[in-house]
């Protein structure tokens, strides 16, 4: 087995400094016996442990960063506030767009714009549009109009800092900034972007229409770059446990499936072996529902908007949630004895779109998660964490009570604030993001048995090239990650699923050729059928109403966010119900932080990456 362990130094982060006088500080200067000035506005913490002591009072501008915590994929967070005599304090930001190896700031978007492909240019604009809608309520949308703040790391738009708006902004202000980029846009998209910006400036294009038009341009360009997909997964109880409460799809055991578009990881929680039951039932329920969505969407000729697909995924998650929640209620489980599970899943949704060369297939990657199971996007150049944990540290940060940097290492910080199955789907808030792939990379889904102690951040560089160069198989890579988790963490069960995405190039479609079907994948197993313990089997089969189609349908419609659902989705649900009848014979019927009413927080943008 090939090891993927990497020996790293202490995690001493580079920080972005904002405040009066920080730009004029001398390189090499020490500040407060802790920080070293690396370059103008880039500092380095020379003492990684303990975390900085946070002052009792902080500037009002700092609170905006705390509320933007769900947007960590794009926006930095507060690391420390350094007081200055006679001046406003200097705020140090972590998770800033700084290369963690060299300490150099990533390039400005406007500087990278001209050399980017049409697909990547549209991807950046889509991210800006989603961020614009999230930052307007925070009074910081003007940050997206400052070329020096906007940076890019590959596909990913990142901000150095947030800039407080001093005047009210409108969509026309964003369109004016986009207008300055059109001269360097790729010829295939320059004209339609010009028309879109003119319509926004004239006030004839509202937010909903902007979303529709920009999404169409993005998917049309995505259809020019078909993807080859391979998926593999595995799970292990770990060296210290006899029972495995983690489950995944695929699991490396069951027979192969021809649709390598779905990946699921669940990490069960609850007493009396209940976590084992919850995780496996959620995997089975989602596999059943989402395979139907894939089969139906592949043949449609009308584009489903990202919002609708996201709502359909949320509805499927709520159906799975209420299967577990109902069994908890029927077995009179309470508090930590209520079984549940975390979830992270990936769904590559195919949509047919009319292009100048005929009908093509565009691919959209949807990532959904609940709890602290994670998704990472890994290429030979970087490893990006795509999800934000549902934990106590995050909740306290968004509430403005503490800095995330000061909370995340505390023992109680990882307590979950939500999980699937512990309460009604009416109270569940799944996070769903949309991405469009424009580069080769590995999507890694895992439970915290692997992600704890920053094992992924420390080891990714040792194995990514082995996969992209076809030196080892995807199954071997999965086995290496599982072995790493067992050797270096070992305190928990572990589940890992890898999805290898490889663009075939813009020349893959001859002029006028039809889009091919996704290639069959022999690496993708079918529904997992891991053997349960005797106690878990008793729980699984003790659910007299799990096979009631009417009840399952009612639960979905009652808990899903009200939307105008297309007729084809009704057909999917009906098909899923019929298929469910065949599974009824073997379907049967803790870690959570106390529920709280968190303050309103910005919705993480559905960014195409």
String of DSSP letters for 239-250: TT-SS--EEEES
Last residue of a domain, one of 204, 222, 240: 222
| Chain mean position to CA 476 | 24
Report the predicted TM-score, pTM, of the whole model to 2 decimal places. 0.84
Using an 8 Å Cβ cutoff, are 523 and 474 in contact? Answer: yes
Question: What is residue 94's three-state secondary structure?
Answer: strand
Summarised one tens digit per residue, pLDDT across range 18-72 is 999 888 899 999 998 899 999 989 999 998 777 887 777 778 889 999 999 999 9
Q: How many CB atoms lie within 10 A of CB 335?
A: 10
Shared-domain flag, residues 213 and 360: no
The tally of domains found in the chain comes to 3
Residue 366 lies inside a defined structural domain of this protein? yes
**What's the CATH number where 315 sits?**
3.60.40.10
Strand pairing class (494-503; 262-269): unpaired
Shared-domain flag, residues 120 and 244: no
Q: Please give the pLDDT value at position 527.
A: 38
Shared-domain flag, residues 60 and 149: no
Q: Please give the pLDDT value at position 257.
A: 62
Question: What is residue 521's three-state secondary structure?
Answer: coil
- State the virtual CA torsion across 407, 412, 413, 418 in degrees, nearest 10: -150
Compute the distance between CA of residue 26 and CA of residue 186 in angstroms, rounded to an integer.
Answer: 41
- Burial of residue 262 (number of CB atoms within 10 Å: 0-12, 13-18, 19+): buried
Last residue of a domain, one of 194, 222, 250: 222
Shared-domain flag, residues 478 and 427: yes
Residue 609 lies inside a defined structural domain of this protein? no
List Cβ neighbours of 347 (8 Å cut-off, separation of 6 or more): 261, 262, 290, 293, 294, 313, 365, 366, 368
For residues 182-203, give the mean pLDDT: 96
Cα angle 285-290-293, degrees, rounded to a multiple of 5: 145
Compute the distance between CA of residue 544 and CA of residue 477 in angstroms, rounded to an integer.
Answer: 41
Last residue of a domain, one of 182, 199, 222: 222
Residue 5 lies inside a defined structural domain of this protein? no
User: Comparing 87 with 342, which gets the higher pLDDT?
Assistant: 342
Q: Please give the pLDDT value at position 392.
A: 96
Q: Please give the pLDDT value at position 54.
A: 77
Shared-domain flag, residues 238 and 373: yes
Counting residues of the chain whose pLDDT is more than 90, the rounded percentage is 64
Residue 183 lies inside a defined structural domain of this protein? yes
Shared-domain flag, residues 218 and 232: no
DSSP letter assigned to residue 185: S
Compute the distance between CA of residue 59 and CA of residue 435 in angstroms, rounded to an integer.
Answer: 35
Summarised one tens digit per residue, pLDDT across range 313-335 is 999 999 999 999 999 999 998 88
| Domain ranges, residue 154 | 109-222
Residue 136 lies inside a defined structural domain of this protein? yes
Shared-domain flag, residues 18 and 74: yes
Compute the distance between CA of residue 235 and CA of residue 531 in angstroms, rounded to an integer.
Answer: 13
Question: What is residue 302's three-state secondary structure?
Answer: coil
Shared-domain flag, residues 114 and 46: no
Residue 322 lies inside a defined structural domain of this protein? yes
For the chain, give percent helix, strand, coil, nearest 5.
40, 20, 40
Residue 555 lies inside a defined structural domain of this protein? yes
Q: Please give the pLDDT value at position 212.
A: 96
Shared-domain flag, residues 346 and 472: yes
Could you tell me the CA-to-CA distances from 465 to 386, 440, 444, 469 in Å, in that order?
A: 20, 11, 14, 6
For residues 506-525, give the mean pLDDT: 37
Residue 259 pLDDT class (50, 70, 90 cuts) = low
Using an 8 Å Cβ cutoff, are 216 and 304 in contact? Answer: no
Compute the distance between CA of residue 282 and CA of residue 276 in angstroms, rounded to an integer.
Answer: 10
Shared-domain flag, residues 409 and 556: yes
Compute the distance between CA of residue 242 and CA of residue 218 in angstroms, rounded to an integer.
Answer: 48
**For the ranges 71-80, 169-178, 416-425, 497-506, which has the lowest average pLDDT?**
497-506
Shared-domain flag, residues 389 and 244: yes
Shared-domain flag, residues 351 and 387: yes
Residue 512 lies inside a defined structural domain of this protein? no
Using an 8 Å Cβ cutoff, are 525 and 253 in contact? Answer: yes
């Amino acid at each position: 087995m090939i090891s993927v362990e990497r020996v790293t130094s202490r995690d001493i982060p580079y920080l972005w400094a904002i405040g009066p006088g920080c730009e004029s500080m001398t390189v090499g200067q020490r500040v407060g016996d802790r920080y070293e000035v690396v370059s103008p506005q880039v500092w380095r913490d020379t003492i990684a442990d303990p975390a900085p002591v946070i002052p009792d009072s902080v500037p009002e501008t700092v609170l905006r960063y705390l509320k933007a915590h769900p947007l960590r994929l794009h926006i930095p967070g507060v690391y420390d506030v350094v007081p200055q005599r006679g001046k406003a304090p200097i705020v140090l930001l972590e998770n800033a767009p700084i290369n963690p190896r060299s300490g150099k700031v990533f390039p400005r978007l406007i500087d990278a714009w001209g050399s980017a492909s049409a697909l990547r240019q549209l991807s950046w604009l889509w991210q800006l549009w989603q961020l614009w809608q999230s930052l307007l309520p925070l009074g910081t949308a003007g940050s997206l109009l400052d070329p020096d703040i906007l940076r890019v790391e590959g596909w990913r738009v990142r901000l150095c800092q947030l800039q407080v708006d001093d005047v009210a902004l409108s969509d026309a202000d964003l369109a004016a900034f986009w207008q300055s980029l059109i001269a360097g846009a790729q010829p295939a998209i320059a004209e339609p972007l010009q028309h879109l910006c003119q319509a926004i400036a004239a006030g004839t294009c509202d937010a909903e229409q902007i979303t529709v038009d920009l999404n169409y341009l993005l998917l049309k360009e995505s259809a020019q770059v078909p993807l080859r997909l391979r998926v593999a997964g595995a799970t292990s109880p770990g060296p210290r446990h006899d029972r495995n409460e983690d489950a995944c799809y695929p699991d490396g055991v069951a027979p192969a499936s021809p649709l390598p578009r779905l990946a699921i990881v669940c990490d069960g929680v609850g007493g009396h072996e209940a976590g084992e039951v919850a995780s496996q039932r959620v995997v089975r329920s989602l596999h059943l529902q989402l395979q139907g969505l894939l089969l139906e969407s592949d043949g449609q000729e009308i584009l489903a908007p990202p919002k609708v697909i996201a709502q359909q995924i949320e509805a499927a998650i709520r159906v799975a949630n209420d299967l577990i929640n109902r069994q908890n209620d029927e077995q009179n489980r309470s508090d930590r004895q209520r079984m549940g599970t975390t979830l992270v899943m990936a769904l590559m949704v195919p949509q047919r779109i009319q292009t100048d060369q005929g009908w093509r297939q565009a691919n959209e990657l949807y990532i959904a998660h609940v709890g602290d199971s994670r998704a990472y996007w890994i290429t030979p150049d970087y490893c990006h964490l795509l999800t934000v944990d549902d934990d106590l540290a995050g909740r306290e940060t968004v509430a403005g009570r503490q800095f995330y940097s000061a909370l995340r290492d505390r023992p109680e910080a990882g307590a979950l604030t939500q999980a699937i199955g512990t309460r009604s789907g009416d109270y569940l808030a799944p996070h769903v993001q949309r991405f469009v792939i424009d580069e080769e990379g590995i999507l890694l889904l895992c439970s915290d048995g692997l992600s704890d102690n920053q094992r992924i951040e420390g080891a990714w560089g040792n194995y990514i090239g082995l996969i992209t160069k076809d030196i080892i198989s995807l199954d071997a890579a999965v086995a290496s990650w599982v072995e790493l988790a067992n050797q270096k963490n070992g305190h928990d069960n572990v589940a890992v699923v890898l999805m290898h995405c490889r663009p075939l190039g813009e020349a893959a479609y001859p002029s006028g050729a039809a889009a091919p079907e996704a290639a069959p994948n022999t690496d993708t197993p079918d529904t997992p059928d891991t053997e349960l313990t005797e106690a878990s089997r008793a729980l699984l089969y003790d659910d007299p109403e799990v096979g009631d189609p009417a009840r399952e349908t009612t639960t979905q419609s009652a808990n899903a966010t009200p939307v105008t659902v297309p007729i084809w989705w009704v057909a999917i649900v009906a098909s899923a119900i019929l298929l469910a009848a065949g599974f009824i014979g073997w379907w049967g019927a803790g870690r959570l932080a106390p529920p709280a009413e968190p303050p309103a927080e910005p919705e993480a943008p559905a960014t195409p990456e």
